Structure 1
Amino acid sequence: MLCPVEGWGKQKNMSYLRVMSIAGIFPIDKWNFSTSAILNVLTEKEYDFLISRQIGQKYVKGEVVFREGVVPSGIYLIVKGKVKKYKVDHSGREQIIYVASQGEFIGYHAVLAEERYPDSAATIEDSVLSFIPKEDFLQVLTSSPLFSSRMLKALSHEFTVLANNISVFSQRSAIERLSISLIFLREKYKNDLNAEGEILINISRTDLANLAGLAKENVIRLLKELKEEGILHTDGRKIWISNLEKLIVRSNYR
């Protein structure tokens, strides 16, 4: 039996101590939402019913968790790793809507709306996910007003974030979109540190391009510019931001 969030809070707190916090210098909440705190409102009995009897399933990098248009049979909790939520256009190109990380739920929109999945989800690194049948999820949602309230709050904030993302694609320049995407990813990877204690973003250039809504060639060129400006360093697909303040200036978020 695998406890999905065992040790997660401790790891998170340690990472905050070792890396520069973004709070106060960039409005990350405009671009990032998380369902990770929702579990904290459950009683021990509710938590055991919803989570403890679920067994984590391993997914390799790039493996599809669910596809757009499929009828959902439950939701997923990310025990370890990261998952991209995306849609595919008529030409076959992906547009990444969001990246979810450890401790977050995915797939709950379709269950709550009693609809098919509105998007697809796939891992961007080796991951472990816990599947929760929709009957269990809905039972706890019905029996716990606080859990229901937190879920509604998370959905409301998610709407705000997605509205900001639409604004980015329609109004921002390429460098601003890439900068905001990198700042967002820094938040998602803040528990992934290299030997020097720096946040290490490990994502393919294709996924980064699909997240920022840019051509892969443009992403490669802009990353080179940011590297020459001393804002970041790269090693293969790995990226670490060495000057967060300069990157925020380049994002022109105000």
Structure 2
Amino acid sequence: MNRLYRKFDFMSNFLLQELSEPDKRKVMSCFEPMTFKRGDRLFYEDGIPTGIFYITKGTVKKYKKVVGDQEQIFYIYKEGDLLGYHALLSDERYQDSCEALESITTEFISKDNFMELMETIPSLKAAVIKNMAHEFGVLANTIAVLAQKAQTPRLALFLLILNNRYDSMGIKLSRQDLSNLIGATRESVGRTLKEFKDDGLIEIRDKKIFLVDMDKIISKVEMPLSVNRRLIDS
């Protein structure tokens, strides 16, 4: 993973990959399959954590309600990501909510089983602690972008990040969710997307956004973050 995407990627999809095969099988033996429809919440703000989730199909958003009923989306999780362990490990209520963006399938590990796994598999405990520290840096980078950059550079940057998250298979995200992710109104995001489309930077097919001209999108980011072709490819 190159340096740019690492700055904005929780990397929770690598947690189980770092385990040995016997340890991975031990974790998987605690899996309980669960399914959610679009709009269902895996957990909600101020709820009591009962376990963690491993996404096996689909995408979910992690967000917090801010002014009025508006949402601020912090992250989009996808297949292979492990989530929900922050509140559980801190023994606090959830500070945010997590909602399915489409019909998804997950594996659930109960709180008791997860805590036991953390104690009996030192490599899992080390990986989770390391990842939580990394995620703090990701959130700090995200806050800096939202606070310091104008809307067009924010949108360009997050399109690059989302394109990486969706493995270049098209960004499947509603205009409202995209605006809640970059901290802008739906109308202004729609206008900027149209400008990007008219200028040949993106294409929109089957309600997905495809990045067409990466160099032009990168040029829109206006760097203090030093996003350029060298950094993208490093």
Give yes or no for the alignment of 1:46 onto 2:27.
no
Partner of 1:195: none
Q: Which residue among 151, 165, 177 is the counterpart of 1:207?
A: 177
Tell me how far 1:53 sits from its aligned partner.
4.4
In the TM superposition, what whole-angstrom CA distance separates every residue of 1:147-174 from its partner, at most 9, and x where no partner exists? 1111111111111110011101110010
Per-residue CA distance 1:2-57 (angstroms, 9 max, x = gap): xxxxxxxxxxxxxxxxxxxx84xx71111112111111233444333322342322
CA distance in structure 2 between the aligned counterparts of 1:41 and 1:201, rounded to whole angstroms: 28
Check conservation: 2:30, 2:113, Cα contact below 8 A: no
**Identical residues among aligned pairs (%):** 34
Q: Is the CA contact 1:78–1:103 (under 8 Å) kept in the aligned structure 2?
A: yes
Q: Does 1:230 align with 2:187?
A: no
Q: Does 1:105 align with 2:75?
A: no
Greater CA drift, 39-48 or 28-37: 39-48
- Equivalences for residues 144-159 of structure 1 within 5 A: 144-159=121-136
Q: TM-score, normalised by structure 2?
A: 0.90
> For 1:36 and 1:174, how far apart are their aligned partners in 2?
29
How much does 1:145 deviate? 1.9
SS in 1 for 2:13: coil
The equivalences for 1:54-65 within 5 A come to: 54-65=31-42
More deviation, 45-54/29-38: 45-54
User: Aligned partners of 1:114 and 1:93: how far apart in 2?
Assistant: 27
Count how many residue pairs are aligned between Structure 1 and Structure 2: 224
1:59 shift after superposition? 1.4
CA distance in 1, matches of 2:89, 2:61: 20
Partner SS state of residue 106, structure 2: strand
Residues 30 and 109, structure 2, Cα contact 8 Å, conserved in 1: no
Shift of 1:93: 0.4
Amino acid in structure 2 at the alignment position of 1:160: G
Q: Which residue number in structure 2 is paired with residue 17 of structure 1? A: none
Which among 100, 105, 108 is matched to residue 128 of structure 1?
A: 105
Equivalent residues of 1:205, 1:237 under 8 A apart = no
Asked if 1 retains the 8 angstrom alpha-carbon contact of 2:7 and 2:137, the reply is yes
**Aligned-pair CA distance for 1:223:** 0.2
Q: 1:84 — aligned with what?
A: 61
- Gap regions ≥5 residues in structure 1: 1-21, 191-197
Matched AA of 1:41 = E
Q: SS of the residue aligned with 1:57?
A: strand
Residue equivalent to 2:5 = 28
Aligned equivalents of 2:97, 2:123: Cα separation in 1 = 29
1:46 and 1:140 in contact (8 A); partners too: no
Distance 2:60 2:12 in 1: 14
Aligned-residue RMSD, C-alpha: 1.6
What secondary structure is seen at the aligned counterpart in 2 of 1:40? coil
